[in-house]
A and B are shown apart, each in its own frame.
Chain A
Amino acid sequence: MSALSLFHDYTFQVVALGAALLGMTSGLIGSFAVLRRESLLGDVVSHAALPGIAAVFLMTGTKDTVWLLVGALCSGLAATGFILGVVRYSRIRFDTALALGMSVFFGLGLVLLTYVQKIPNSNQAGLQRFIFGQAAILLKGDILVIAVTGAVLLALTLLFWKELKLLSFDPEFARSLGLPTRALNVLLSAMTVAAIIAGLQTVGVILMSAMLVAPAVAARQWTNRLGVMVGLASLFGAVSGVAGTLASSAAAKLPAGPAIVVAADVIVLVSLAFGRARESRGRRGRAADRVSRA
């Protein structure tokens, strides 16, 4: 099948559209995550979604995507709350809280999944797809979920643009202005969780975190303006989504999820090599770097 005729193939259209939408959404949300140094939250939340998915299936026996996603959303939020709470009320640092939250929630998910498996007549096939992702079997309904999530997230971003911008660059200043920084933090975390959960079944748990980070990092190399960065990140996300699905359809035995990630990382490499925006961090930042590197 030639590349041109692929564009007329219905399955390809659906998958490519889904991947592009997903890339745009994760580029949008990922920009804030990268600027706030929370890039790894994506990895954590996508692992932490597992117990929610298993619990919904266990309680209702449904395999309806929307309900499973609601379960994933709940456990993703619970894990985020656990992590933020541990950091706030103990001397455990963010990285440790992330690693702990991720692995414990994933373990709980595994316990629930193995519990589901031994219930007679329960056919849990299809749950696995949430762990590793299968873009090739995206359905129209899944696209709808991604599109609606993306639209809501875009609307929220535009609505709270000024606040989110301030929160990402100078949270202390934001607090001194009297902005409800804690509520905004929760909002942004919830938006991140929603973006991740929407993409889980396309690229899978582990690769979803790359989709959050790569387009945003690439975009950061080209501009120092947040608006441009968010726009570019969405564009890069969409391009890698389409390029990855294209490569996966053109070559045999090339799964789409990894192909999308590799495409995004190629954009990162090019951006790192040719991007013009320099981080103007001043001398203090560089000196601190030298000390921490020593």
Chain B
Amino acid sequence: MSPALEIQLIAVLVAVACALPGCFLVLRRMSMMSDAITHTLLLGIVLAFLATHSLTSPFLIVGAASVGLLTVWMAEALQHSRRVSEDSAIGLTFPLLFSIAIVLITRYADSVHLDADAVLLGELAFAPFDRMIVGGADIGPRAAWSMGCVLLLNLAALSLFFKELKLTTFDPVLAALMGFAPVWLHYGLMAAVSITAVAAFQAVGSILVVAFMIGPPASAYLLTDDLRRMVVLSALIGGLNAVAGYWMAAWLDVSIAGSIAVMTGLSFLGVFILSPSRGLLSVVRRRARQRMEYRERIVLIHLHHHEGSGTEAQESGIDSIHRHLGWPRPLAEAVLRRLEERGRIRIEGGVAKPADADRPEGGE
């Protein structure tokens, strides 16, 4: 495989592996937890490195995943003290663990190649240089293998616990009543997020893992109401972002991970504006239509109210009604015209009257 293909393969693997747990983060309103975890896994990596003095040992993953869980636990403990709100709890926890990591790096690991930049920013272009050698044979880039394993792990966990995850996500109280253990599923999900983030950070950097985890599910969330479809769509959108991002990076000769994040943003923006049921355009159109329907109703109520009264000519006159409604004149005229076109009112001698068919049944 050429390096270009290998990079795209890794990018797609990262994107799909991240999108799976990401769906549940978005639905459970825990998106910012991914940000916290991706920052604090630096501490896990530092601690494991100080213990083993190796940057490739599996303890790195164990260490980082444990610190990920520690982050979640600390934030929740703070929150459950009821003296700190959820967002503040997250905002207190991860900078502290991150600071400890930076201090440890500066003091004890300065001489080796373990700097915060590398962890936070990552570089996909270097991924093909790190080969997986088994028995002397080169079987591909290491990142592809590790991401592939994580993807399989996530897929297995998702298909095994799909029903449970769905229930605890949408109705945690019912899930608890039915004897499921939301807490274990919660920490299981957080472990999946941590492990995925650890595997992905070397390729794309820990900050952009957040884009991979949250971006595609956010887009998919605007396209469907079905959880299964949302998971599949997120994986698909993530994969497309990865390939499109790679080609943009190749064309402009810039950071690949950054360019995939930009693609993630652009694809979200497209969905946000154009989504048929939940896009900006349809929301704006729907709100405008509701506003118009409301105005028509107000006019009809007004006409019914004053019909046959002594002041009807004033109150319902097409030249004066806008003053009584407190509307600008063109608006009142437009609403009257719309109502007349549909036969809901008739205009007699400059006075608007509700059409007979529009009279409420069994009226006054």
Contacts and interface: CB of A to CB of B under 8 A. Distances in A.
Interface of A: 34, 37-40, 42-43, 47, 86, 89-93, 95-100, 102-115, 118, 128, 131-132, 206-207, 209-210, 212-214, 216-217, 220-221, 253-255, 257-259, 261-262, 265, 268, 272, 275, 279, 281, 286, 289, 291-294
B102 A258 contact: yes
B103 A210 contact: no
Given A47-B207, A118-B253, A253-B110, A89 B262 contact: no
Nearest to B98: A206
B84 interface: yes
- 4 pairs of A and B residues whose beta carbons are closest in the complex: A107-B261, A110-B258, A210-B95, A104-B265
Given A92-B222, A104-B261, A255-B106, A40 B87 contact: yes
B284 A99 contact: no
Main secondary structure of the interface of A (DSSP, over half): helix
Given A90-B278, A258-B99, 19 more contacts: A89-B272, A93-B31, A96-B26, A98-B32, A103-B207, A104-B264, A106-B207, A106-B258, A107-B211, A107-B257, A114-B258, A206-B98, A210-B92, A254-B106, A261-B99, A262-B96, A265-B95, A268-B92, A294-B182
Contacts of A100: 31, 211, 214-215, 218, 264-265, 268
A91 B26 CA distance: 11
A202 to B, nearest CB: 14
B173 interface: yes
A5 to B, nearest CB: 24
Interface residues of B, number: 69
Contacts of B278: 90-91
B107 A254 contact: yes
Interface centre among A96, A118, A268 (most CB of B within 10 A): A96
A106 B261 contact: yes
B208 interface: yes
A35 B151 CA distance: 40
B99 A207 contact: yes
Nearest to B103: A258
A292 B117 CA distance: 38
Nearest to A105: B265
B35 interface: yes
